[in-house]
Amino acid sequence: MDHITNVNDGLYMATTKAPVNIAVVKYWGKTNEDLIIPANDSLSLTLSTEHLCATTTVAVGKKFREDRIWLNGKEESIRSARLQNCLHEIRKRSQEALRMQNDLPDYTGWNVHMCSVNNFPTSAGLASSAAGYACLVQSLGILFHIEGDLSGIARQGSGSACRSMYGGFVAWLKGTNPDGSDSVAKQIASSDHWPQMRVIILVASDAKKDTSSSHGMMRTMETSTLALHRVENVVPQRMKDMTGAILNRDFNKFAEIAMKESNQLHAVCLDSFPPIHYMNSASWDVVTLVHRYNRFYGTNKLAYSFDAGPNAFLFLLEESLPEVLAVVEYAFPTTARGVDFFRGSPAVIGKLSDELKNFMNISPQQDAVKFAIITHVGDGPKPHEGPDAHLLDVHGYPK
Amino acid sequence: MDHITNVNDGLYMATTKAPVNIAVVKYWGKTNEDLIIPANDSLSLTLSTEHLCATTTVAVGKKFREDRIWLNGKEESIRSARLQNCLHEIRKRSQEALRMQNDLPDYTGWNVHMCSVNNFPTSAGLASSAAGYACLVQSLGILFHIEGDLSGIARQGSGSACRSMYGGFVAWLKGTNPDGSDSVAKQIASSDHWPQMRVIILVASDAKKDTSSSHGMMRTMETSTLALHRVENVVPQRMKDMTGAILNRDFNKFAEIAMKESNQLHAVCLDSFPPIHYMNSASWDVVTLVHRYNRFYGTNKLAYSFDAGPNAFLFLLEESLPEVLAVVEYAFPTTARGVDFFRGSPAVIGKLSDELKNFMNISPQQDAVKFAIITHVGDGPKPHEGPDAHLLDVHGYPK
């Protein structure tokens, strides 16, 4: 009964925090839409919940008349097929858990109330479904006494959520079983494996998403004549190379593969019909800036990655952080510059040498970036405890 | 001696006009950089010289002390390897011609003066090398009495120039001979085969090219893991399908392949490392607009194609021209709108119905397009004659 709050004999509750993750070998396309089985393996970094996380409270109540869910303060439909799949799997696994340990209270027949919030602005276009589903599944797993890997359940909520079930550097293996049972996440290295790794998220001003990732990847798989070649012939080697780069802490190689993977994701989007377009002119300003920075040093000291939106995820080592922040500050001035521009970890902005500035030949882009979040690799979902931890009140309703 | 002006016994001259072409199955990448042998076949439409053309005068003079060339009023180095290859081939073929017809004046030992101008602004970022080399090679071919196909020589000046050696719909076959001797252009259909075909060129305001096509395609062939798959597995079928669409005058199919080819060219550019980026936000506005227009009609009535720059080439049938011009005028207002915005063929601007306008939901982009050229499919290079035709004076120097 660890991490479960027994409010009364008719109401149990658990709350967790779960991280977002950013892929450096990209997931884009499924072989099974219902089970969410991906067309290829992928690999991501789990980001610290200090700066970006979802928090979810799940309550199971004898008196609840139906399953209900509230996201960011608003009740949403419980009928979503993906949510139903997750709840179904949880209840099935719960029965198994009860058969193993019959001293546990059996409330698998009761209904659940679920309440989830993100600590980052949803308008920023940062993928929230991965953290959200990871958090939901982790909370449900605790509440229903489920032991072992939950990533296969999180996967059925939102594919990349399975990678948020672990901290550090995480692979999502597509698996080979048609039922998806071996399509799960595996930790490649823990969050303290490469402590110098830093991530800066540059939130683009115009971060509205035109094509959802689900629709986008479906269109790519159906129409791109390059996507299948990527899936079958390019990604397997990149998974090996990226795993090696991470295990060897080879930043130059890590950066190269991360950038090539981001570029290829957007290339197969462009090769879709009609073409899909997520990177905007601010994204391209970042690409240009990163390649010029690396050319100055003759090695990759900085990498970019873009998901299904214009926001840039920059990867770098701690030693480069002050200078890179100076470059970012110079390249993306904002009219409202202030304490709010750099968020997350404290920003120690270094000096931008004239030599570097002249070499990079940057044209500053006013207000192209709204704000930046400085963060690092972090752990997987964690129970969130304490008197005010729960998002649901003693009756099981949102506070 | 047809089309040759005998200025005096020591000075002969010939002038031609040659067209630009726009590929609908794209050329991007060589298997031999020196001989300019392409990695795949390509297919293009030759555009009318009425609106866009190069004009070149070539003179051969007993007293000329060296070969010289002037482009758009400025003398350029004669040392370019590509230019030397063309001159070398011309002189070789000229010897053969002389052996066949020994009543011709032999001036193969003399030097040449070459002078070429384009009738379109070079700043517009419209590829001028194809028309330029086609024109140069055609003029030299006339002057040196060379019979037969000259596209293999034009190819060595600028790959896509070989397609400008014919009018109408033209394929460039990569060939199989290592010496490039069968890498030549062939006419698929003449310029009057599909008289309803129209082309609108939307010249983007910010048309500066970052990466030259030569460097870009070399980078793609060296670094893209998708490009080889395109070349080997995608293009052959598209050549067949596009040839069929043209021969059957199937605009819906023609448009689909043209757009997919454009998208895939830019996809392999994005998959290059560092990535290559030619389409800007105005280009993407055009892409969105075209797909919405086609969705309104439930068939492809309009197609786009982009080369190594942000300018859009629109394809459409004559019947759609008035409405499409109305869409363009509405979508791309300019502060300096006037007679100068629509150039080329006379613009009869139709009515934009509220139904179409509402369906398309366009956000007009002020000054994103500088001007538009309305044109159509045209013929290959033609001799340019008459008292003022030549660009060189009676001494063989630029007028």
Q: What is the pLDDT of residues B306-325, one digit of tens each?
A: 999 999 999 999 999 999 99
Q: Report the gap between the CA of B171 and the closest CA in chain A (Å).
A: 22
Mutate: best of A26, A40, A211, A226, partner B, most B CBs <10 A: A226
Distance, CA of A29 to CA of A172 (rounded, Å) = 13
Q: pTM (2 decimals)?
A: 0.95
Residue A2 binned pLDDT confidence (cut-offs 50, 70, 90): confident
Strands (E), chain B: 5-8, 11-19, 21-25, 30-32, 37-38, 42-46, 53-61, 68-71, 74-76, 111-118, 169-172, 185-189, 197-204, 302-306, 312-317, 342-344, 369-376, 382-383
Q: Is the pLDDT assigned to residue B207 strictly greater than 70? A: no
The predicted structure's pLDDT at residue A340: 85
Chain-chain contact of A271 with B274 (C-beta, under 8 angstroms): no
Longest dimension (CA), chain A: 71
Chain A residues touching residue B260 (CB < 8 angstroms): 225, 271, 273
Summarize the confidence of residues A181-197 as an average pLDDT.
98
Range A197-376 has CATH code 3.60.15.10: no
Q: Note whether A372 and A341 are within 8 A (CB).
A: yes
Are B264 and A291 inside 8 Å of each other by CB? Answer: no
B281 with A280: Cβ contact below 8 A: yes
User: Quick one: pLDDT at residue B232?
Assistant: 97
Name the nearest CA neighbour of B191 among B50, B11, B303.
Answer: B50
Residue of B nearest to A233 (CA): B225
Task: Supply the pLDDT for residue A105.
Answer: 84
Among partner residues B226, B234, B272, which is closest to A230 by beta-carbon distance?
Answer: B226
Which pLDDT does position B106 carry in this prediction?
A: 86
Q: Assess whether pLDDT exceeds 80 at residue A58.
A: yes
Question: Distance from A31 to chain B by nearest Cα, in Å?
Answer: 20
As a whole number, mean pLDDT of residues B212-235 equals 96
* φ/ψ bin of A398: left (φ > 0), alpha (ψ from -120 to 50), beta (otherwise): beta
ipTM exceeding the 0.90 mark: yes
Least confident of A328-342, B188-202, B264-278: A328-342
Mean pLDDT in residue range B143-152: 94
Domain with CATH 3.30.230.10 in chain A: 4-190
What pLDDT does residue B373 have?
95
Residues B233, A225: C-beta atoms closer than 8 Å? yes
> What is the DSSP-derived secondary structure letter of residue A216?
H
Residues of B with CB under 8 A from a CB of A: 225-226, 229-230, 233-234, 256, 259-260, 263-264, 266-268, 270-275, 277, 280-281, 284, 287, 291
Q: Verify whether the Cβ–Cβ distance A271 to B267 is below 8 Å.
A: yes
Q: What is the pLDDT of residue B154?
A: 97
Q: How many CB pairs under 8 A join A and B?
A: 74
Looking at residue B179, what is its pLDDT? 96
- If 0-12 CB within 10 Å is exposed, 13-18 middle and 19+ buried, where does residue A66 land? exposed
Return all residues near B190 (Cβ < 8 A) that are at least 6 apart. B167, B168, B169
CB pair distance less than 8 Å for A260 and B277: no
Across residues A32-58, what is the average pLDDT? 97
In 3-state terms, what secondary structure has residue A24? strand
Q: Which residues of A touch B268 (CB under 8 A)?
A: 226, 267
Residues of chain A with CATH 3.30.70.890: 197-376
* Confidence at residue A102, expressed as pLDDT on a 0 to 100 scale: 76
pLDDT exceeds 90 at position B337: no
Q: pLDDT-derived band of residue B15, with 50, 70 and 90 as boundaries?
A: very high
Between A229, A267, A277, which is nearest B284 by CB? A277
Q: What chain A residue is nearest to B294 in terms of C-alpha separation?
A: A274
Is residue A350 scored above 70 in pLDDT?
yes
Strands B342-344 and B369-376 turn out to be parallel
Alpha-carbon torsion angle B100, B103, B109, B113, nearest 10: -100
User: Whole-angstrom Cα distance, residue A143 to residue A83?
Assistant: 17
Mean pLDDT value across residues A205-213: 73
What is the pLDDT, as a whole number, of residue B281?
92
pLDDT in tens, A114-128: 999 998 776 666 767
Banded model confidence at residue A108, pLDDT cuts 50, 70, 90 = confident
Average pLDDT (B68-74) is 94
Cβ–Cβ gap B273/A280 under 8 Å: no
| Percentage of chain B modeled with pLDDT above 70 | 96
pLDDT at A378 over 80: yes
- pLDDT value at residue A327: 98
The pLDDT score that the predictor gives to residue A205 is 77
Average pLDDT over residues A341-368: 94
pLDDT in tens, A285-330: 999 999 999 999 999 999 999 999 999 999 999 999 999 999 999 9
Q: What is the pLDDT of residue B68?
A: 97
DSSP B309: S
Looking at the complex, report in whole angstroms how far the Cα of residue B287 sits from the nearest Cα belonging to chain A.
8
Res A1 pLDDT > 80: no
Do you find a cis peptide bond into A398, omega within 30 degrees of 0? no
Quick one: tokens of A32?
């099974």
Is pLDDT of A61 > 80?
yes
Closest CA to B312 of B278, B336, B343: B278
Strand, coil or helix: A370: strand
Is A281 in Cβ contact with B280 (below 8 Å)? yes
Nearest C-alpha neighbor of B20 from the set B175, B166, B198: B166
Q: What is the DSSP letter of A384?
A: -
**For range A34-44, the mean pLDDT:** 97
Of A25, A260, A271, nearest to B273 (Cα)?
A: A260
- Compute the average pLDDT of residues A50-65: 96
A303 in Cβ contact with A316 (< 8 Å): yes
Q: Give how far A280 is from chain B: nearest CA, Å.
A: 7
| Topology, domain B4-190 | Ribosomal Protein S5; domain 2 (3.30.230)
Q: Which tokens belong to B66?
A: 């060296």
CA B154 vs. chain centroid, Å, equals 12
Give A255-274 as a DSSP string.
HHHHHHHHHHHHHHHHTSSS
pLDDT of residue B350: 96
pLDDT at A207 over 70: no
Region A249-255 average pLDDT:
98
Helices (H), A105-250: 129-143, 151-157, 213-223, 227-229, 235-247
Residue B63, CB-side half-sphere exposure with 13 Å CA sphere: 9
* List of chain B residues whose C-beta atoms are within 8 Å of the C-beta of residue A226: 226, 229-230, 234, 264, 267-268
- Say if residue A209's pLDDT is above 70: no
Average pLDDT of every residue of chain A:
94
Q: How far is the alpha carbon of B386 from chain A, nearest alpha carbon, in Å?
A: 49
Within 10 angstroms of residue B296's Cβ, the number of other Cβ atoms is 15
Q: Chain A residues contacting B, CB < 8 Å?
A: 225-226, 229-230, 233-234, 256, 259-260, 263-264, 266-268, 270-275, 277, 280-281, 284, 287, 291
Q: Do A226 and B266 touch (CB under 8 A)?
A: no
Nearest CB partner across the interface for A287, out of B226, B267, B275: B275
* Count of CA atoms in the C-beta half-sphere (13 A) of A175: 21
Rg, chain A, Cα only: 22
Average pLDDT over residues B140-149: 94
Per-residue pLDDT, averaged over A195-200, amounts to: 98
pLDDT tens string A271-281: 999 999 999 99
